[in-house]
Amino acid sequence: MERTIDAQLEDLKNLTVEMGGQVEKALQTTVLGISRRDPQQFSNVHKIEELVNDLQIKIDNACLEVLAKQGPVAKDLRLILSIIKINTDLERMGDQCVNIAHIGREVLERTNNISFQDIEQMATTVKKMVKAALDSFVKMNVTMAREVLLMDDEVDSLRNKIFSESTARMKIEPAQIENLLDLILIARNLERLGDHSTNIAEDVIFALTGKDIRHQGAGA
Amino acid sequence: MERTIDAQLEDLKNLTVEMGGQVEKALQTTVLGISRRDPQQFSNVHKIEELVNDLQIKIDNACLEVLAKQGPVAKDLRLILSIIKINTDLERMGDQCVNIAHIGREVLERTNNISFQDIEQMATTVKKMVKAALDSFVKMNVTMAREVLLMDDEVDSLRNKIFSESTARMKIEPAQIENLLDLILIARNLERLGDHSTNIAEDVIFALTGKDIRHQGAGA
């Protein structure tokens, strides 16, 4: 028996939620590597990212199949378009986690004498933002998606704090320059994880309302 | 009279090429701002990015329309999926140009006493890579797309050079720390423009061959 479009869309949503769960796990593991100063966690991130990459290809193929076999229109078509875009964002979020893990490993190889306190605080906020974006997709809830857009300011302000404090410290502790630069680069990667969460929330809003709110700012 | 799917796909391709042209112009203008130390160019980048953003929404809507009205399959469907992804990459390339323009403006406000030589060299390579990726799309040529993937190594090596030299100089010229950090951040943004070019080339290969070569490395 042919599967209905509703059943196929449900499968697609479930795969996307599974991929989102793996990205959350990748981020969680990355942060654990930093907070526990445990390089083993960074190796685990690479394994999780491979699962994320496999899911990306699987979801793209599943989207192609539904598009070809069902010729969806209106709301169904918008959902598939959103999933294609969310899929791309989730894959790049996996990349960002790998980037952070890579930098984290380099820092730990160099020193044990650096505070990750601000990075951990920023990571906590970014984790909330990623979770909120994925929750808005799971529940297909516009209000939740709009809340994600508002969280970006906090991430940006934590990023600015890390940038300015690290730069100031570079001047008085030249021996720490590499490590402080790495904190800045980790903050930049965390900021991008926040940006991807924003993209996901915007795609959820588009899927549900048909309204494209990109390039209008968070208040739109 | 209803337009044929071939005519609609041709329109979609033309819009994508137009958007690619604007992204090239944004990058060109950004680099001009740096090489001529001319902040006016950085303001121009913002205006070009607005055109890029408008085109992104226009292309997404056009893709939705073709999908809904024509129910394309096989090669045509793959082309549309590729255009949806390339569209996302091009929009983010516009963002990267704005990021570089923003940092470039900050550097120029701070000093006139810094060499952009390595950045200009890296930018020249990235411009070639962006052009090659867009050419492979225009000509729908797999061989050209594969060549783009090989150009990434040169970009990475120039990025590493800027990272290590800037870090070394920070230690002996603490007064230049902010400017050297900005060179590093510009190099990171240029590297990401190269990554997006790789994504575009991979999408061209997928559109033409149906083969997903992501996550396999450049030799795949």
Tell me how far CA of residue A155 lies from CA of A122, A194, A208, B125, B127, in angstroms: 6, 7, 26, 33, 31
Confidence at A1, pLDDT banded by 50, 70, 90: low
pLDDT at residue B5 in the model:
95
Q: Does B81 touch chain A (CB under 8 A)?
A: yes
Q: Is A113 exposed, middle or buried (0-12, 13-18, 19+ CB in 10 A)?
A: exposed
How many Cβ atoms are within 10 Å of B109's Cβ, its own excluded? 9
pLDDT in tens, A103-123: 999 999 999 889 999 999 999
Q: Are B196 and B92 in contact (CB under 8 A)?
A: yes
Strand, coil or helix: A213: coil
Residue A40 tokens, joined: 């083993």
pLDDT at residue B1 in the model:
58
pTM, two decimals, is 0.96
In this complex, the residue of B57, B170, B214 whose CB is nearest that of residue A214 is: B57
Q: Give the CATH number, domain containing residue B190.
A: 1.20.58.220
Strand, coil or helix: A58: helix
Which chain A residues are within 8 Å of B88, Cβ to Cβ? 85, 88
Q: Please say if the pLDDT value at position B219 is more than 70.
A: no
Q: Please say if the pLDDT value at position A218 is more than 70.
A: no
Q: Are B192 and B122 in contact (CB under 8 A)?
A: no
In this complex, the residue of B67, B72, B74 whose CB is nearest that of residue A77 is: B67
- The whole-angstrom distance between B189's CA and the closest CA on chain A is 11
Question: Is residue B197 included in any domain, yes or no?
Answer: yes
Q: Does A214 touch chain B (CB under 8 A)?
A: yes
Confidence at A58, pLDDT banded by 50, 70, 90: very high
Which chain B residues are within 8 Å of A71, Cβ to Cβ? 71
Write out the DSSP string of B52-85: HHHHHHHHHHHHHHHHHHH---HHHHHHHHHHHH
pLDDT at residue A215 in the model:
87
pLDDT at residue B14 in the model:
98
CB burial string B157-195: b at 16+ within 10 A, e below:
ebbeebbeebbebbeeeeebbbbbbbbbbbbbbbbbbbb
Which chain A residues are within 8 Å of B68, Cβ to Cβ? 73-74, 77
pLDDT in tens, B158-189: 999 999 999 999 999 999 999 999 999 999 99
Q: Is B61 exposed, middle or buried (0-12, 13-18, 19+ CB in 10 A)?
A: exposed
Residue A69 tokens, joined: 């076999």
CB contact residues (below 8 A), chain B span 171-190, against chain A = 171, 174, 177-178, 181, 184-185, 188
Which chain B residues are within 8 Å of A85, Cβ to Cβ? 84, 88
Question: Is residue A217 included in any domain, yes or no?
Answer: no
Helix (H) or strand (E) holding B177: helix B177-209
Q: Are A152 and A202 in contact (CB under 8 A)?
A: no
Q: How many structural domains compose chain A?
A: 1
Question: Is residue A32 included in any domain, yes or no?
Answer: yes
Question: Is residue B217 included in any domain, yes or no?
Answer: no
Q: Write down the H helix ranges in chain A.
A: 5-35, 39-70, 74-110, 117-139, 142-172, 177-209
Q: Please say if the pLDDT value at position B220 is more than 60.
A: no
Tell me, what DSSP letter sits at residue A157? H
CA closest to B199 among chain A residues: A88
Determine whether the interchain pair B53/A177 forms a contact, defined as Cβ–Cβ distance below 8 Å.
Answer: no
- The whole-angstrom distance between A68's CA and the closest CA on chain B is 5
CA distance A98 to A43: 9
pLDDT in tens, B89-106: 999 999 999 999 999 999
Residues sharing a CB contact under 8 Å with residue A89, sequence separation 6 or more, in sequence order: A196, A199, A200, A203
Q: Does B141 touch chain A (CB under 8 A)?
A: no
Question: Is residue B203 included in any domain, yes or no?
Answer: yes
Which chain B residues are within 8 Å of A171, Cβ to Cβ? 174, 177
Tell me, what DSSP letter sits at residue A220? -
Q: Please say if the pLDDT value at position B213 is more than 70.
A: yes
Write out the DSSP string of B26-52: HHHHHHHHHHTT-HHHHHHHHHHHHHH
Which chain A residues are within 8 Å of B73, Cβ to Cβ? 68
In this complex, the residue of A88, A170, A178 whose CB is nearest that of residue B88 is: A88
Determine whether the interchain pair A57/B214 forms a contact, defined as Cβ–Cβ distance below 8 Å.
Answer: yes
Query: How many Cβ pairs within 8 Å bridge chains A and B?
Result: 76
Mean pLDDT of chain B: 96
- The whole-angstrom distance between B185's CA and the closest CA on chain A is 9
Residue B67 tokens, joined: 């999908």
Q: Please say if the pLDDT value at position B68 is more than 90.
A: yes
Question: Is residue B220 included in any domain, yes or no?
Answer: no
Which chain A residues are within 8 Å of B74, Cβ to Cβ? 68
Q: Are A166 and A98 in contact (CB under 8 A)?
A: no
Question: Is residue A215 included in any domain, yes or no?
Answer: no
pLDDT in tens, A150-179: 999 999 999 999 999 999 999 999 999 999
pLDDT at residue B91 in the model:
98
Q: Could you list the residue range(s) of the whole structural domain that residue A92 is in?
A: 5-209
Tell me how far CA of residue B181 lies from CA of A25, A187, B167, B186, B191, in angstroms: 31, 14, 8, 9, 15
Question: Is residue B216 included in any domain, yes or no?
Answer: no
Interface confidence, given as ipTM, is: 0.94
- The whole-angstrom distance between B96's CA and the closest CA on chain A is 12
Determine whether the interchain pair B85/A88 forms a contact, defined as Cβ–Cβ distance below 8 Å.
Answer: yes
Confidence at A220, pLDDT banded by 50, 70, 90: very low
Residue B209 tokens, joined: 């061959």
Which chain A residues are within 8 Å of B71, Cβ to Cβ? 71
CA distance B127 to B190: 9
Mean pLDDT of chain A: 96
In this complex, the residue of B74, B84, B177 whose CB is nearest that of residue A167 is: B177
How many Cβ atoms are within 10 Å of B117's Cβ, its own excluded? 9
Tell me how far CA of residue B191 lies from CA of A71, A200, B44, B187, B195, in angstroms: 38, 24, 22, 6, 6
Q: What is the mean pLDDT of residues A16-44?
A: 98
Helix pair A117-139, A5-35: axis angle to 10 deg: 170
